[in-house]
Amino acid sequence: MTAAVVFAILGAGAAGAVLRYLTARAFASHDGFPWAVLIVNVAGSALGGLLAGLAHIGTIDPNLEIVMLTGLCGGLTTFSTLSVETMQIVSLKSIRVAFLSGAANLVLGIGVAAAMYFWLIALAS
């Protein structure tokens, strides 16, 4: 792996983080539900599933795959904000909102990743 690839990964991670930050500012919680994290996690997981599918059928350059997957998707999505926000919501006694948020991230995030992955593979076969 060349230094250029490593720098591209870091740059893509920075871009993903900035996109996530702007999303968080645009969707500053008005109804107590952490929408911003759900949006970036579902969007990043969809792109991740797409990239994994492209890698599986062998139509993506491995360097581009790692820049997009580890860099952009990794930077765009987050787990720490999800876990800390969920526990803060729990401490505010909104167990239902905390559960809904966690479940929505898991079901929708994994769901769109799987859908993109298997859709691409079906398309290619």
Partner 1 sequence: MIRELAAVAVGGAVGTGMRFALDLAFATEDGLFPVSTLIANIVGSFVLAVVVAELWEKLPDWARAGLGAGLLGSFTTFSALAVAFVHLASTNQWLLALIYVTATMVLGLAAAALGLRLGHARARRPDLVNE
Contacts with partner 1 by CB under 8 A lie at: 6, 9-18, 20-21, 24, 41, 44-45, 47-49, 51-52, 69-71, 73-84, 86-88, 90-91, 102, 105-106, 109-110, 112-114, 117-118
Q: Compute the distance between CA of residue 119 and CA of residue 123 in angstroms, rounded to an integer.
A: 6
| 14 versus 32: smaller Cβ distance to partner 1 | 14
The minimum distance between CB 123 and partner 1, in angstroms, equals 15
The minimum distance between CB 119 and partner 1, in angstroms, equals 12
Tokens of 50: 């797409």
Q: What is the amino acid identity at position 30?
A: H
- Number of helices (H), then strands (E), belonging to the chain: the values are 6, 0
Longest dimension (CA), the chain: 50
- Please, are residues 27 and 36 in contact by the beta-carbon 8 Å criterion? yes
The minimum distance between CB 31 and partner 1, in angstroms, equals 21
Tokens of 56: 């599986």
The minimum distance between CB 45 and partner 1, in angstroms, equals 4
| 32 versus 79: smaller Cβ distance to partner 1 | 79
